[in-house]
Amino acid sequence: MVVLGIDPGITHLGLGVVEVEPKGTLKARLLHGEVVKTSHKEPAQERVGRIHARVKEALLRFCPEALAVEEQYFYRQNELAYKVGWALGAVLVAAFEAGVPVFAYGPMQVKQALAGHGHAPKEEVALMVRGMLGLKEAPKPSHLADALAIALTHAFYARLEAAKPL
Protein backbone atom coordinates (compact mmCIF):
# COMPACT_ATOMS: atom_id res chain seq x y z
CA MET A 1 0.00 0.00 0.00
CA VAL A 2 1.33 3.44 -0.95
CA VAL A 3 0.05 6.40 1.08
CA LEU A 4 0.65 10.13 0.61
CA GLY A 5 0.56 11.97 3.94
CA ILE A 6 0.00 15.72 4.18
CA ASP A 7 0.60 18.09 7.08
CA PRO A 8 -1.38 21.03 5.69
CA GLY A 9 0.00 24.52 5.99
CA ILE A 10 0.11 27.54 3.72
CA THR A 11 3.69 28.54 4.58
CA HIS A 12 5.10 25.03 5.19
CA LEU A 13 3.21 22.01 3.87
CA GLY A 14 4.67 18.64 4.80
CA LEU A 15 4.37 15.98 2.11
CA GLY A 16 5.48 12.39 2.68
CA VAL A 17 4.99 9.20 0.68
CA VAL A 18 5.39 5.78 2.28
CA GLU A 19 4.96 2.23 1.08
CA VAL A 20 3.65 -0.16 3.71
CA GLU A 21 3.87 -3.95 3.68
CA PRO A 22 0.38 -5.42 3.33
CA LYS A 23 0.71 -8.00 6.12
CA GLY A 24 2.56 -8.54 9.38
CA THR A 25 4.01 -5.74 11.47
CA LEU A 26 3.64 -2.15 10.33
CA LYS A 27 6.87 -1.99 8.32
CA ALA A 28 7.18 0.83 5.87
CA ARG A 29 9.58 2.35 3.41
CA LEU A 30 10.06 6.04 2.72
CA LEU A 31 9.50 6.80 -0.96
CA HIS A 32 9.54 10.60 -0.85
CA GLY A 33 9.45 13.50 1.56
CA GLU A 34 9.53 17.26 1.21
CA VAL A 35 8.27 20.50 2.67
CA VAL A 36 6.55 22.83 0.20
CA LYS A 37 7.36 26.40 1.23
CA THR A 38 5.58 29.58 0.28
CA SER A 39 6.00 33.17 1.43
CA HIS A 40 3.40 35.53 2.85
CA LYS A 41 4.82 38.08 0.38
CA GLU A 42 3.57 36.04 -2.59
CA PRO A 43 0.05 36.46 -3.99
CA ALA A 44 -2.41 33.88 -2.64
CA GLN A 45 -3.00 32.27 -6.04
CA GLU A 46 0.74 31.60 -6.46
CA ARG A 47 0.98 30.02 -3.01
CA VAL A 48 -2.06 27.83 -3.53
CA GLY A 49 -1.02 27.04 -7.10
CA ARG A 50 2.44 25.86 -6.04
CA ILE A 51 0.99 23.63 -3.33
CA HIS A 52 -1.52 22.16 -5.79
CA ALA A 53 1.22 21.52 -8.37
CA ARG A 54 3.55 19.75 -5.88
CA VAL A 55 0.77 17.56 -4.46
CA LYS A 56 -0.49 16.71 -7.94
CA GLU A 57 3.05 15.83 -9.03
CA ALA A 58 3.46 13.48 -6.04
CA LEU A 59 0.09 11.87 -6.78
CA LEU A 60 1.02 11.25 -10.41
CA ARG A 61 4.56 10.07 -9.64
CA PHE A 62 3.78 7.65 -6.77
CA CYS A 63 0.16 6.63 -7.54
CA PRO A 64 -0.87 6.27 -3.89
CA GLU A 65 -3.94 4.30 -2.91
CA ALA A 66 -4.86 6.97 -0.37
CA LEU A 67 -4.08 10.52 0.65
CA ALA A 68 -4.16 11.22 4.40
CA VAL A 69 -4.27 14.69 5.94
CA GLU A 70 -3.98 15.92 9.47
CA GLU A 71 -7.19 17.45 10.73
CA GLN A 72 -6.57 20.94 11.97
CA TYR A 73 -8.02 22.42 15.13
CA PHE A 74 -7.93 26.18 15.59
CA TYR A 75 -9.48 27.67 18.65
CA ARG A 76 -8.93 31.40 18.37
CA GLN A 77 -6.86 31.67 15.23
CA ASN A 78 -9.42 32.43 12.57
CA GLU A 79 -6.98 33.99 10.10
CA LEU A 80 -4.60 31.03 10.36
CA ALA A 81 -7.45 28.56 9.90
CA TYR A 82 -8.60 30.48 6.84
CA LYS A 83 -5.16 30.36 5.19
CA VAL A 84 -4.53 26.71 6.08
CA GLY A 85 -7.87 26.13 4.36
CA TRP A 86 -6.32 27.46 1.16
CA ALA A 87 -3.65 24.75 1.35
CA LEU A 88 -6.15 22.04 2.23
CA GLY A 89 -8.34 23.10 -0.69
CA ALA A 90 -5.40 22.74 -3.07
CA VAL A 91 -4.73 19.26 -1.69
CA LEU A 92 -8.37 18.19 -2.03
CA VAL A 93 -8.58 19.40 -5.64
CA ALA A 94 -5.38 17.54 -6.54
CA ALA A 95 -6.74 14.36 -4.94
CA PHE A 96 -10.04 14.77 -6.81
CA GLU A 97 -8.21 15.21 -10.12
CA ALA A 98 -6.14 12.07 -9.47
CA GLY A 99 -9.13 10.05 -8.23
CA VAL A 100 -7.45 9.30 -4.89
CA PRO A 101 -9.60 9.03 -1.75
CA VAL A 102 -8.79 11.39 1.13
CA PHE A 103 -8.76 10.42 4.81
CA ALA A 104 -8.30 12.72 7.82
CA TYR A 105 -6.85 12.01 11.25
CA GLY A 106 -6.64 14.21 14.31
CA PRO A 107 -3.49 14.59 16.41
CA MET A 108 -4.77 12.20 19.10
CA GLN A 109 -5.44 9.49 16.49
CA VAL A 110 -1.89 9.86 15.14
CA LYS A 111 -0.37 9.61 18.62
CA GLN A 112 -2.56 6.61 19.49
CA ALA A 113 -1.68 4.77 16.26
CA LEU A 114 2.06 5.35 16.41
CA ALA A 115 2.93 5.66 20.09
CA GLY A 116 0.11 3.67 21.67
CA HIS A 117 -1.34 6.57 23.66
CA GLY A 118 -3.03 9.81 22.71
CA HIS A 119 -0.82 12.10 24.78
CA ALA A 120 2.58 11.27 23.28
CA PRO A 121 4.87 14.27 22.70
CA LYS A 122 5.79 15.14 19.11
CA GLU A 123 9.33 13.87 19.72
CA GLU A 124 8.05 10.41 20.61
CA VAL A 125 5.92 10.29 17.47
CA ALA A 126 8.90 11.38 15.36
CA LEU A 127 11.01 8.60 16.89
CA MET A 128 8.31 6.06 16.06
CA VAL A 129 8.27 7.34 12.47
CA ARG A 130 12.05 6.95 12.36
CA GLY A 131 11.83 3.37 13.61
CA MET A 132 9.00 2.31 11.32
CA LEU A 133 10.76 3.72 8.27
CA GLY A 134 14.21 2.45 9.30
CA LEU A 135 15.75 5.92 9.18
CA LYS A 136 19.03 6.82 10.90
CA GLU A 137 17.43 9.81 12.60
CA ALA A 138 14.00 11.32 13.07
CA PRO A 139 12.76 13.19 9.98
CA LYS A 140 13.19 16.95 10.03
CA PRO A 141 11.70 19.51 9.88
CA SER A 142 8.62 18.78 11.98
CA HIS A 143 6.28 19.35 9.01
CA LEU A 144 7.88 16.41 7.19
CA ALA A 145 7.79 14.22 10.31
CA ASP A 146 4.11 15.05 10.74
CA ALA A 147 3.29 14.23 7.11
CA LEU A 148 5.01 10.85 7.40
CA ALA A 149 3.22 10.19 10.71
CA ILE A 150 -0.11 10.92 9.01
CA ALA A 151 0.69 8.48 6.19
CA LEU A 152 1.68 5.76 8.68
CA THR A 153 -1.45 6.44 10.72
CA HIS A 154 -3.60 5.82 7.67
CA ALA A 155 -1.81 2.53 7.06
CA PHE A 156 -2.51 1.55 10.68
CA TYR A 157 -6.23 2.34 10.46
CA ALA A 158 -6.57 0.81 6.98
CA ARG A 159 -5.26 -2.49 8.37
CA LEU A 160 -7.94 -2.36 11.04
CA GLU A 161 -10.47 -1.55 8.33
CA ALA A 162 -11.35 1.51 10.39
CA ALA A 163 -10.35 4.14 7.83
CA LYS A 164 -13.22 6.24 6.54
CA PRO A 165 -12.88 8.74 3.66
CA LEU A 166 -13.13 12.45 4.48
Return the exposure string of 74-97: e unless at least 16 CB atoms fall within 10 Å of the residue's CB, then b.
Answer: eeeeeeeeebbebbbebbbebbee
For residue 42, give Cα distances in angstroms to 13, 39, 47, 70, 82.
15, 6, 7, 25, 16
Is 40 assigned to a binding site? no
Task: Report the C-alpha gap between 3 and 135 in whole angstroms.
Answer: 18
Sign of CA dihedral 76, 79, 81, 84: negative
Catalytic-residue membership of 52: no
Catalytic-residue membership of 7: yes
Is 70 assigned to a binding site? yes
Spot the catalytic one: 19, 32, 70, 71: 70
Catalytic-residue membership of 65: no
Is 7 assigned to a binding site? yes
Annotated binding site: 7, 70, 143
Annotated binding site for Mg(2+): 7, 70, 143
Give me the active site residues, please.
7, 70, 143
